[in-house]
Structure 1
Amino acid sequence: MAARQSASSKSTARAKKPAGPGADEYIAWYRDMLLIRRFEEKAGQLYGMGLIAGFCHLYIGQEAVVVGVQSALREGDQVITGYRDHGHMLAAGMTANGVMAELTGREGGYSRGKGGSMHMFSREKQFFGGHGIVGAQVSLGTGLAFANAYRGDGKVCATYFGDGAANQGQVYESFNMAKIWNLPVIYIIENNQYAMGTSVKRSSSETHLYKRGVSFNIPGEEVDGMDVNAVYEAAKKAVEHARSGKGPYILEMKTYRYRGHSMSDPAKYRTRDEVNEYREHKDPIDLARKRILEGKFATEDQLKEMEKEIKKIVQESADFSQSSPEPDPSELYTDVLIEADA
């Protein structure tokens, strides 16, 4: 009888345990998403002032994707992505100062001012770019996963690409190779619904991009990329699948970018009502904030203090990005793989 009561007591305790993430997780997610949002807004301002040159692709609206996935990875796992990459860097633990200084082409940047917005790296944080060629990072991410499998180090590579890149040929070559060798790679398709200015419906015969791995026997699923908890739960399952030796997994994140493809894109191919619908009813940061307040994980005042702290970090990064010196001309001759005679 005593044993029966003990078992019943344990069952009751399990039933009372709250399901899903708690205060620590939601507050961390909220902070990281807010940092990315405020950083990108500031980057947009600096671009408008002429302090950032070249291309600049902002991540505003898509913050839940990288924050949710990153929280499912563990130390040592790798991340590689395309050119809309500032949010990925910050989520991977790279500093706002270093990222912003790279945007302005300064010595204090992660690539010492030579890479700019699309080409930053951090071996320390296991961040392997930032790549300007559409879809190129998919092959490289598959290569990183091959190295992990070869070494048997238990690491997983999170390989991000967009809905436009999902139509590139090297993506499918990579899928085939990854499944043949059951490589530990997660393919994360950030489907923000517009490949530059062309909607997925107009450019893809199969618009459910998570199905693209079916002919390679790669499992996949569609995820609400505006809900950080949904992203985390799906990523956790995918990472476990890849790390256990079962091979690649595809996650199609249904997300949305509020700004144009790049800072030079007026985004006239979509209506203002469409953008406002996402901003007002599906914003990932607003959703996380609502859950924090409803769960009593933090108060309004505490969230306001967090906002002040993040604004200070972002402003300091903007100041650093302008005060850091420009690269010395000698940097032209560093990191050159092959030097040829003129």
Structure 2
Amino acid sequence: MTSIVVLGSTNMDLVAYVAKAPARGETVTGREFRTVPGGKGANQAVAAARAGADVSMIGAVGADEFGSRLRAALEHSGVDTDLLRTSEGPSGTAHIVVDDEGGNAIVVVPGANATVTSLDHGDEALIATADALLLQLELPLSAVTAGAVTARGLGVRTVLTPAPAQPLPNELLAATDLLVPNEHEAATLTGLADPHAAAEALLRKVPEVVVTLGAAGSLYAARGAKPLVVPAPRVRAVDTTAAGDTFVGALAVALGEGRPVPQALAWASAAAALSVQRPGASSSMPYRTEIDTAFDPTHARRDDRDDRQEADAV
């Protein structure tokens, strides 16, 4: 079984569903409100665990009711939380508005996540047991960089989701094996709107890049190899929150199992496509049997830059 450690955020998502998101200064009436366990780190941990990996979480929750619920939700999905810290003060929260098109706008308040500034006792030993370390940018950069450098020194594959997008220190990039931005994050990191050009630019800093393209699928680029675009399944989205995290978690599992890159991308896209058809973040993530059923191996053999689907699936 693939072993994955996630060093990342854990938030409670406070989600309001509306017909149309409010403009600045505008008040609208929502039709529903939910609290759903989330955070990019926890989302990727749940996605990987449900996809069939042995997953452990490093991060922090607050000493509040949300913290207890977040820890319980991770454990319910099979994620080990022995090294998930409890910090004084509130847990992290994400305030999300989801419109009828499935789009979202998000404000993240870090809470306990901000206290994770470095690796703690036992973290390095846990990372040493992993096939891959998953990282995002909702923890302080000092901790993310420390995790990546430690993993690189231990020979553990590092997978970085650069979200929320921000300038990345050279030390972090030098310790990253696979960078997985979406097309907007890739543009922010490089100043290049075209995903292919952005991926090429990013390859000067990391050996492998996967740019997720929403409804168009995903673009894989590696040094010395021809770029590959694998399309996403054709679906109608209900809520795209955490679709990218679902993709990354499933991709890490597929790569850890030794699947060829095209097949791994298609399998991860199938997982993400399932998630966008359900509301919520971690609550929308599919289990391995569902992914296997939805997986279309013909997608792993296609390379079509102009393919467009009906809804964002990654």
TM-score norm. by structure 2 comes to 0.35
TM-score norm. by structure 1 comes to 0.33
Name the structure with the higher helix share: 1
Greater relative contact order: 1 or 2 (C-alpha under 8 angstroms, separation 6 or more)? 1
